[in-house]
Amino acid sequence: MAPEGGGRESGDALARALVRARAGDAAAAAHVVRTLAPRLVRAAARILGDTAEAEDVAQETLTRVWTKAPGWDLFGPARIETWAHKVAINLSVDRLRRRARFDVTDAPPEQED
């Protein structure tokens, strides 16, 4: 059996858990979060350099997982873990772009009253 987070077997187990979570199984939902969240936080933290912001990215990614899951072919060739990881990376890069756009060093100096 493949280790957690790797291999087709663990991907299928996660897909089955996501199916149960969609049906209202709270324990299965918790399993999905426990499985995906640490990897998502680590990926986002490497990009953002901020654990708190990385946790926000992971939460937003998991929200997208729940939203997209009904239309996802959970047992098809694409793994939910891979898709979620890519979403987390994209969200992290988007945040970096927003930071660069609103860098306070580019702000005009404050005017005296």
Specify the DSSP element, H or E, that contains 40: helix 26-48
Q: Which tokens go with 94?
A: 């988007």
Predicted structure pTM score:
0.75
Q: Which tokens go with 61?
A: 């990614």
First vs last Cα of the chain: how many Å apart?
69
Euclidean distance between CA atoms 101 and 8, whole angstroms: 40
Q: Which amino acid appears at position 61 of this protein?
A: T
Contact present, 14 and 35 (Cβ < 8 Å):
yes
pLDDT in tens, 62-102: 999 888 877 777 777 778 899 999 999 999 999 999 887 66
